Amino acid sequence: MRALSQFVKDKRKEVGLTQEDLAIKAGVALTVIRKIEQGKENLNLDKVNQVLRMFGHILAPVNAREINLDGNDL
């Protein structure tokens, strides 16, 4: 979750928003932004995606069979 927390914090600062501003614009509670930026692990994926959409991204579960790590199908 460290990468997610740093990504959101960096992007928020890059566009000059406070945590409160981002929460309002994303339509989530301020506590959601704080939890994301603190790297909490028990987050609601829908809420995280509401925030990430502000920066043109989303998170989605990945099926291991869809990942081709060595060039061979699993």
How far apart CA 49 and CA 58 sit, in angstroms, is 5
End-to-end CA distance of the chain: 26
How far apart CA 29 and CA 15 sit, in angstroms, is 19
In angstroms, what CA-CA distances link 50 with 3, 7, 67, 68? 17, 14, 25, 29
For 47-68, how does the pLDDT look when each residue is reduced to its tens digit (9 = 90+)?
A: 999 999 999 999 988 776 766 6
CATH architecture of the domain with residue range 2-55: Orthogonal Bundle (1.10)
Q: Inter-axis angle of helices 45-52 and 30-37, to 10 degrees?
A: 90
pLDDT per residue of the chain (74 residues) written in tens, 0 to 9: 569 999 999 999 999 999 999 999 999 999 999 999 999 989 999 999 999 999 999 998 877 676 666 555 44
